[in-house]
Structure 1
Amino acid sequence: MKTFIAIVLLGFAHLAAADWFDDLRETGDAEDLYRVLYYMPKGGDLHNHLSGSNFSEWWYEMALAERDRGYRYYTKVRIENCVPYGGNEFGRAPYYLLFRNIAAHEYDALSDCEKREYKRLEELGDEEKAGWMDSIRLDQPYEGRDEFFGTHWTRLNALTNNPWLQAEALYRNMRAFGAEGITYLEPQIAVAGFRDPDGNPIPPGTVADIIRERLAQKDALATGVTVRLQLPILRFLPNAEDILRFTYQFVHDNSDIFVAVNMVGREDNDKGYPLRFLETLRELRRQYGGVRLSIHAGEVDEPNSHVRDTLLLGADRIGHGVNLITDNDTMLLMRHGPYMVEINLISNLLLQYVNDYAEHPFPEYLRTGIPVALSTDDRGMWESTITDEFFVAVTEFSLSWEEVKELSRNSLQYAFVSPQLKQELLDDFADRMSTFERSIGKYGLTRLGPMPETRQFICTRYQLCNQAMQLGRTD
């Protein structure tokens, strides 16, 4: 009899929690809903590009701090017409692109005329500094995927070639995500193409060691965020198969922190079609075990078989999966696992893969049993956070409290970690969520913290504006 009563009371408790959240979502204050979503425990972020996850003011602060290691950075602030007509404006160094960043050794190789086009980062005036920061944000209504894919990384340029800066960026993301209740991150990060202050190559193994050293430091450990890393390849390059061979072996040989290979780059560039890599991956699986695959697929406008073909490659997780909705057979295949779709709501809107959230297939996936989790993709360039992703999901698709918790559990259940670590992360999430729910049940919202600072996306689209001066922010 006591057991029966306990079960009934537990059922009423869950019902009350659901009613409370439904009421808050439908008739409550938007700031209160945002506070709940900010302070609630979360799981992991399984889909984020580290170089796209840094806010503009972080880039500026980190670049200047690298002076202590001998790095000096310059950015292009004017055009003096120093080069002949007919240059390659579609390559990696387009002449007419402002705010492209170069290192001192690149600056020293310029002509006197071209040197006049550049300024040291620390010497930028207020208007130039504001322009520099906006140049790596997708913050204007006329900016979309062409601006994003065509200019953002081209502008960052030398800033992405410093392994110590990259390691510091990883720490800053750990700290910021940890403040939002995240306990696991699986960023896509690079190990090749890095340079010392004089322009000399830094070997990939050394880059990995720099990351290890930063993760082992006291402040990184204090974030409480567990990190495992993916190595991406740019899928449409002519030598992408060779890069895949190197990347796959590197992940295998550095499996203490690297767990997976990803494939990135615009899917509408058909030179990177999924089945191009099938034979290479089958060759690699004959040599190496334990390397997981999480691959971008379905981040495209037209219907195609990319998601199904990517599963054939051996992927366990699909990044984006927007056009999965057009492939009925593959949707049936994915219901109730074992595969998961990494959902990036803000990214898909800003890059115009959906014109409005009413077009987004996320609720269909969620409510037909296709495992999904929310992630941030390139949040620094969107000016958004993981809390923003949850706020969009809840407000646009009327998520229940159980669905909110399911999304966080999925982000841990499908993490590329050992079974033991996965269970530890899930148990920790369950404990934190239980404590949070008890507090809400007893005190309502009174024990929540204040409204957190918000970024530009949530302020512009939902008028939730609590923004500080962003230059000088550190988290």
Structure 2
Amino acid sequence: MNIPHVRRPGSAPSRKRGPAARLSAAFLAGAAAAALVAMPSTPSSALSQNDPTASRPWPVREAGVERYFEQVRDNPARLRDFLRSMPKGGDLHTHLSGAVPTESLIAFAADDGLCIDRTTFKAVAAPCPSGARPAQEAISDHDFRQKVIRAWSMEDFKDTSGESGHDHFFAAFSKFKAVTGAHRGRLLAEVTKVAAANHQSYVEPLFTPQSPALVGLADSVEWNPDLPRMRAFLLADARMKRIIQAAKEETDSELAEHRAALGCGTANAQPACEVKVRFDFQVGRTYDPKYVFTELLAGFELAEHDPRYVGVNLVQAEDHPLGLRDYRLHMRMIRYLRSVYHAAHVTLHAGELTERLVPRQDLRFHIRDAVETAQAERIGHGVDVMYEDRPQQLLRTMARRHVVVEAPLTSNCQILEVCGPEHPLRRYLAVRVPVALSTDDQGVSRVDITHEYQRATRVHGLTYRQLRDSARTSLEHAFIQGRSLWRSPGDHRPTWACATSDPRTGHLTPICRSLLLASPKAALQWQYETDLAAFEAHYTARAE
């Protein structure tokens, strides 16, 4: 989904780790320092749920934990307890403002002295205009609070003749935009707290730094379909350079706010301080081409100069008229920019469509163009894949190239009404397209990653091994820098440097230690395997 930022002229509005085999504090400090060094990534690992030998890097008590999982599969409370404590890797598809719990947004609105319109429930600046109430009253007045929560999220939403789930979802962002437009570090603190509580170690939030400045830059130029010339116009003076520098400084300030909110580096540091963060630069697709290209260019430029920004993504409703009209143009823009820049990875919202939203001809090529033209390494949603031209061939291409599907199951059900067996999740898994369960906008959807794992179990019938491979996939395909712990894509066995090390005991050979210190990605994967070993040992004991 998208988080609308600045409206363009003439555009429509968008919408605790386990105890066993822990790495030393000195090691983690070294790995954290290495995290700021941009390093080329090796190819990513695919899901291997159909190959029982490929997902056993080190001997684990797999049978016991699988037995326990099957015992609790049909017991919602015990299943959630199991899945909540399960290490779940990272969230690769999460929009920053849409990921913050609604209750936190209300508290932030009150802290900032904002007001909330009683009819539209849009947050606005003080003094409160006629028909608005202080946001503070949404804390003290239970009924008003519930109305705000329902307006700002999918809480208790039911389709009506006047508003669909799709429309209610996207409308929520403009209602709380005044809250999320400031204090981005505070938002990030909330997101990492939720991740830590759900035993995730990595998040890759989407947002747009310096959006107003980029709009101003785009306003000053005319659109030129000659992409190299358009890029040259935008880089002709120092304005883009100044915007990139301002984005870096803005990020410094926001990360300082994030650390302060969590007490990082103090005796009262919260567990969320350990969650690693990288950012994807999100670009709105529902505007005229010059705005889209300007933001795409900024995303690629920023990744070259700041290793905290690792990816570029097109967001907002894929069925928007401008998004549909310019879809292939957008893919060509990205393909061109990929030929010029080399640091940024690409993940794209693609196939978040149904016949209910668009004509059938618009279902025939979006995922394919994202994969083949824009050369996306990951796609978000991918719901309409079976409506694509030659879908089986496309699925084989995605499997061969290890193109990940970021799958937010609840979001797909709420917005697209694609739920249960209608969802292509199992089709992707059947042909070994790598899948990483994700949340999309967990605050708006009123879910967390544990809920998505539970939905994958109860609704889609995934096994424990498939869930575990989703978590491994999320780290293997994270855009965080460095070499992988695994020896090759689709092979969840350790690379030769760590083949004789053991995360169950903490035994690290010097050469494996060197890899982990040099590669933030491998360090994350090693820590995951360490936590996984402790988790599986615990639940194996409960099953016996």
Q: TM over 0.5, yes or no?
A: yes
How far 1:180 moved relative to its partner?
A: 0.8
Residues 220 and 260 (structure 1 numbering): CA distance in 2 closer, same or farther, change over 3 Å? farther
CA contact (8 A) 1:161 1:193 kept: no
Q: 1:122 to 1:24 in 2, by over 3 A?
A: closer
The residue identity in structure 2 corresponding to 1:146 is: D
Give structure 2 stretches of 5+ with no counterpart.
1-57, 214-242, 266-270, 356-362, 483-518
Q: Is the 1:337–1:371 Cα contact (8 Å) retained in structure 2?
A: no
Show the 5 A alignment for 1:137-156.
137-139=153-155, 140-142=157-159, 143-149=164-170, 151-156=171-176
- Choose 125-134 or 179-188, whichever is displaced more: 125-134
CA distance in 1, matches of 2:369, 2:336: 17
Deviation at 1:130, TM superposition (A): 2.2
Which residue is 1:132 aligned to? 148
Deviation of 1:203 after TM superposition, in Å, equals 5.2
Residues 73 and 370 of structure 1: is their aligned pair in 2 closer, same or farther, counting only changes over 3 Å? same
Change (3 A) 1:315 1:406: same
Greater shift in the superposed pair: 394-403 or 49-58 = 394-403
| Separation in 1, partners of 2:249, 2:264 | 19
- After superposition, the C-alpha distances for 1:116-169 in whole angstroms (9 at most, x for unaligned) are 2222212454432321222101121114001112x211211311221x2x2111
1:424 is paired with a residue whose SS is: helix
Contact 2:335 2:375 in 1 (8 A): no
2:206 paired residue number: 188
Which residue is equivalent to 1:315? 376
CA contact (8 A) 2:65 2:543 kept: no
> 8 Å contact 1:171–1:220 — kept in the other structure?
no
Q: Following superposition, which runs of at least 4 residues in structure 1 exceed 6 angstroms of deviation?
A: none
Identity %: 26
Secondary structure of the equivalent of 2:73?
Answer: helix
TM-score, normalised via structure 2 length: 0.68
Asked if residue 428 in structure 1 is aligned to residue 535 in structure 2, the reply is no
Q: 2:537 and 2:177 mapped to 1: Cα distance?
A: 48
Q: Could you say if the C-alpha distance between residues 282 and 21 of structure 1 is closer, same or farther in structure 2, counting changes exceeding 3 Å? A: closer
Letter in 2 for 1:335: A
1:158 to 163, 166, 178: 178
Q: Distance in 2 between matches of 1:51 and 1:206?
A: 20
The residue that corresponds to 1:251 in the other structure is 303
Q: Does 1:73 align with 2:114?
A: yes
Match in the other structure for 2:276: 226
**How far apart in 1 are the matches of 2:327 and 2:393?**
18
The alignment covers a number of residue pairs equal to: 392
1:373 aligned onto 2:436? yes
Give the direction of change, closer, same or farther, for the CA distance of 1:267–1:423 in structure 2 (3 Å limit): same
SS at match of 2:65: helix
Read off the aligned partner of 1:180 and give its amino acid letter: N
Counterpart of 1:198 in structure 2 is none
Distance 1:438 1:103, change over 3 A: same
Could you tell me which residue of structure 2 aligns to residue 33 of structure 1? 79
Aligned partner of 2:322 in structure 1 is: 271
Alignment of 1:434-453 (within 5 A): 434-444=533-543
- CA-based RMSD: 2.5
1:102 maps to 2:124:
yes
Q: TM-score, normalised by structure 1?
A: 0.77
Match of 2:136 in 1: 122
Give the Cα–Cα distance (whole angstroms) in 2 for the partners of residues 220 and 387 of structure 1: 25
In 2, Cα distance between equivalents of 1:408 and 1:117: 47
1:171 is aligned, of 164, 186, 189, to 189
Quick one: which amino acid aligns to residue 189 of structure 2? Y
Residues 408 and 439 of structure 2 are in contact (CA less than 8 Å); yes or no, is this contact kept in structure 1? Answer: yes
Relative to 1, partners in 2 of residues 1:433 and 1:11: Cα closer, same or farther, differing over 3 Å?
closer
1:294 paired to 2:329: no
Q: C-alpha displacement at 1:418, in angstroms?
A: 1.5
Q: Which amino acid aligns with 1:396?
A: V
> How far apart, in 1, do the equivalents of 2:465 and 2:68 lie?
12
The one of 424, 449, 454 equivalent to 1:361 is: 424
